[in-house]
Structure 1
């Protein structure tokens, strides 16, 4: 193909989009929407961004950009620590409350169920009032709920507190990734997305290190929850001392603030009406991804302790190495997605995770389990490393705080029983331990079958889904209806809906890149 050769327009409709997306997977060049100075658009084929030195890409971020990124990363890490403080201590909590591990995993299900409601509440608040104060409130309440968990003397109280915890936990993701990534230069987003997503894995590593440090005694779970409370409240207080998102303030300054909430909700309704198909697609994709993550990790420590008969220390060390692989994989594959494309990177990582399943489940020694766990999570979280920027680029530009968070957490809600399902089936299915010869619960085979199905689902869903690599984020905020006397877009006055669903291009024409 010649450079700048005309391309067919972006397909409309589910079947047409699926066909175009499938064909585009096998075309190296990128389908780009180009807008000229008169506002006219056409599609053409352009070469993807070259693979650049990652240190040069990171050097493009200013000190202020790094501050925003760090705070978003810290919030996501604290969120992950708080969640995994429970999942890695299932055995301790089952002993403490004198109940089964399946019953303890009910708390994980309830947490994931209510995260979608929190994502909607705090995500829309972030789009309406900014990224700062919703996150401050969110993180402080999370810390207080960690403390409330410690003082839950009855199992029913424990479940109730974890339900409330899920509501507030759901608000973190959307605001964190919007704040962290919307300041990044377009060609650095893949790399920074991969690093950001690994805040989740980093939170797991810290929780596993804490579990290793406190030992295997039953009551030591409380110490880890105290640490989680301190981290969450600390991040909330830290956020107070940094300014509001630059992109949010600039978009506010470009127009005029709506007089009431009615215009904001009107824009929400417009967005849902126009983008409902994209919403459904992203929810399906996030359902697969959340099953992928929770099925392959939440019960893995339990698997090593119960089926592989490792000590608490051995299982914790293996968990730490496993999630170290996740941090490395997410960063590398997220970075590579800027060159090979978001969908190709996801498909490769999910396929390789499926290939690695036997090596992940069959070993019996700590060293082997650590090594195969490292490479398995390298691929699982490698695929996840693409997700923050992929969701941001698929989002309506004015709803970058709410759309990724809501679709992510709705996927979480659908996949919320994943840990409970794995525990319930494993506890009712016995296999012979290769070391002792005892009959033990079959966590390995259950996780293997489930992960194989999920990896296949991710590959197929991604093959036929859209991509918007390189999409512009600037100057779009929900509920802002621009003042035509103040703003000129490409030499012309903007129309009424610019603030709701379009990227507003200032001073000189820019291009919007899209891959379907």
Structure 2
């Protein structure tokens, strides 16, 4: 009884916190390496003399290739454990983030960002099940929100680095390259994971059952068995809507702020601070009677209502308010995603299923940086282009979530 009365964080063991730390830091640093690019698009356009659409395509190709990493690392994580594929994925994305800084042509940078995307997809597919399966069932919504907030924290770190470090190194054609070279730093995290983080207990318990599986089928093939194919298709559509909504909100936002001749730091810090709080808030809300579906729908509808304030404000007060509200609601809705996807798939196909669905969504939503850039190239104001895409993604997300089952309380 005393244990149940204790604050939730005291009911979490050291091993559970370490598993959370591995997934959280991997995702935070992944988020930094991806989002730092959004601050550098204008300089990259000038360096290689390319259009806004081609600059946006650097984000598009990264998101598309996340699917490769999500499938590969997810399948490996279901077969050989969560920990090894997580470490390999971190090393992979660190390498290609670093190599991108040496690009001599746009095509070389394009290839490096594509390969970076493979590692980015692998971190989510292996890391999220590692943490979710370690934690108590009644705290899955909480850990889900905290995990997903790591990406927004990485975005916030990239905003601070761009504001305070970039001006010190931006000399000629080398400033944006030095920002990409920072992408090598996450590789250091692997040494700590190797020594301090334990394998998922849920995966270890299921190992005996998998050893007696006479079919020897890979987890990815199980996703298209009769009993899982509808789940696979539905979760892929849900994640497509989630990520269309997200990337329409965030990818071109630094550029939009720059077009207003304002510093990006204030709005971006508030956007991502709101997202960190929102991820944790909506993760906790999803543990109540509202459930996973209700929490996602409420947050998304609030984000849609905030669109005019977010993209069309020009004075300081409304601009900052819009950024904070959009982070809390429009980006905070992601807090339910890690636990929602984990609850939709069985242990033997959890990493592959969650990784596949999440990164099919990333591949579909990869069109959004290009689409928004192309709409601007054709004469639409950037804020209007963002608003159209945000609206489409948000409406689709609410509808798709309610077409699927409620998963709160499912046994992993």
TM exceeds 0.5? yes
Q: Name the SS of the counterpart of 1:376 in structure 2.
A: helix
**Corresponding residue for 2:134?**
183
Q: Which of 295, 301, 304 lines up with 2:248 in the alignment? A: 295
**Corresponding residue for 2:202?**
247
1:58 Cα deviation from its structure 2 partner: 2.2
**Corresponding residue for 2:192?**
238
8 A contact 1:208–1:320 mirrored in 2 = yes
1:373-452 alignment to 2 at 5 Å?
373-429=323-379, 442-452=381-391
Q: Distance in 1 between matches of 2:387 and 2:202?
A: 43
Q: Which of 320, 332, 341 lines up with 2:269 in the alignment? A: 320
Q: Which of 226, 249, 255 lines up with 2:181 in the alignment? A: 226
8 A contact 1:124–1:401 mirrored in 2 = yes
**Corresponding residue for 2:120?**
169
1:376 Cα deviation from its structure 2 partner: 0.7
1:47-66 alignment to 2 at 5 Å?
56-66=7-17
Between the two proteins, the alignment pairs up a number of residues equal to: 402
1:259 Cα deviation from its structure 2 partner: 8.9
**Corresponding residue for 1:275?**
228
Q: Distance in 2 between matches of 1:259 and 1:278?
A: 22
**Corresponding residue for 1:510?**
none
Give 5+ residue unaligned stretches, structure 1: 1-51, 431-441, 474-516
1:361 aligns with 2:311: yes
More helix by share: 2
Deviations 1:32-86 (A, max 9, x none): xxxxxxxxxxxxxxxxxxxx99x82222211111110111101111111111121
Q: Which of 53, 62, 66 lines up with 1:115 in the alignment? A: 66
Judged with a 3 Å threshold, the aligned counterparts in structure 2 of structure 1 residues 89 and 366 are, in CA distance, closer, same or farther, namely farther
Judged with a 3 Å threshold, the aligned counterparts in structure 2 of structure 1 residues 92 and 251 are, in CA distance, closer, same or farther, namely same
Provide the TM-score with structure 2 as the length reference.
0.93
More strand by share: 1
Deviations 1:1-59 (A, max 9, x none): xxxxxxxxxxxxxxxxxxxxxxxxxxxxxxxxxxxxxxxxxxxxxxxxxxx99x82222
Q: Name the SS of the counterpart of 2:221 in structure 1.
A: helix
Q: Distance in 1 between matches of 2:20 and 2:38?
A: 27
Give 5+ residue unaligned stretches, structure 2: none
Q: Name the SS of the counterpart of 1:338 in structure 2.
A: coil
Q: Which of 149, 158, 183 lines up with 2:100 in the alignment? A: 149
Flag the structure with larger Rg. 1
Q: Name the SS of the counterpart of 1:102 in structure 2.
A: helix
| Bigger mean CA deviation after superposition, 237-246 or 455-464 | 237-246
Calculate the aligned-residue CA RMSD, in Å: 1.9
Q: Distance in 2 between matches of 1:341 and 1:454?
A: 21
Deviations 1:303-341 (A, max 9, x none): 1112x222xxx1133212211111011111111110020
Q: Which of 289, 292, 300 lines up with 1:350 in the alignment? A: 300
8 A contact 1:102–1:424 mirrored in 2 = yes
1:255 Cα deviation from its structure 2 partner: 4.4
8 A contact 1:208–1:319 mirrored in 2 = yes
1:396 Cα deviation from its structure 2 partner: 2.2
1:224 Cα deviation from its structure 2 partner: 2.1
1:132 aligns with 2:46: no
Q: Name the SS of the counterpart of 1:196 in structure 2.
A: helix
Q: Distance in 2 between matches of 1:209 and 1:163?
A: 25
8 A contact 2:81–2:199 mirrored in 1 = yes
8 A contact 1:214–1:220 mirrored in 2 = no
Q: Distance in 1 between matches of 2:238 and 2:153?
A: 23
**Corresponding residue for 1:456?**
395
8 A contact 1:58–1:188 mirrored in 2 = no
1:153 Cα deviation from its structure 2 partner: 1.1
Judged with a 3 Å threshold, the aligned counterparts in structure 2 of structure 1 residues 256 and 215 are, in CA distance, closer, same or farther, namely closer
Q: Distance in 2 between matches of 1:269 and 1:402?
A: 9
**Corresponding residue for 2:281?**
332
**Corresponding residue for 1:30?**
none
